[in-house]
Amino acid sequence: MNAIRIDAARAQGRAQSQSQVDVATFIAWADADRRGEADVADFYAHRFRAEFRPAFNAWMASRPSTNPDAPPTPFAMPQYQLASKQEAERLDTAADAATAQVLRDLQTASNYVLTVVLYAVVLVFAGMSTKIAGRRLRWILVGIGCLVFVITIAWIATFPVSVQI
């Protein structure tokens, strides 16, 4: 589970780094384009990352300089997809599922430990009954012990069983 979280954090860091590169090259392109330096703008446009290029092309096709309904940047386009971001989201989902399974397993383990404690209580009642002189009180203690034993057996029968080793 922790390994999955670490991998998710790495993928998220990679996605953020890639976004920063995309933003930096886009800003450099936009600045050169605004100044009318077509050769410099082309220089930056040829260096756009492959994942950024479809969003940029779609954004340019929306004519952002003349269309008021065009998205403000290529980063708002649905075509801007980072594989590392999707990988981070997938890993986060997997880590959440692993965490949920671990919590279920911990609860199951705690339930088994509680049954051991309940069996110890049964033994305490049985042991105490041998030290009691009064017959009626002895049978009450044995009865309580038996009741706890039966309830514990019934409860443990509802626990999940794994045949894996």
For residue 94, tell me if it sits in a domain.
no
In a domain, 13, yes or no: yes
Q: Is residue 88 situated within a structural domain? A: no
Rounded average pLDDT over 38-61: 95
Asked whether residue 148 is domain-assigned, the answer is no
Name the pLDDT band for 137 (thresholds 50, 70, 90): very high
Whether the Cβ atoms of residue 160 and residue 108 lie closer than 8 Å to each other: yes
Between helix 83-129 and helix 135-156 the angle, nearest 10°, is 160
Assess if residue 71 is contained within a domain.
Answer: yes
Number of domains in the chain: 1
The whole model's pTM is what?
0.66
What range defines the domain where residue 47 resides? 2-83
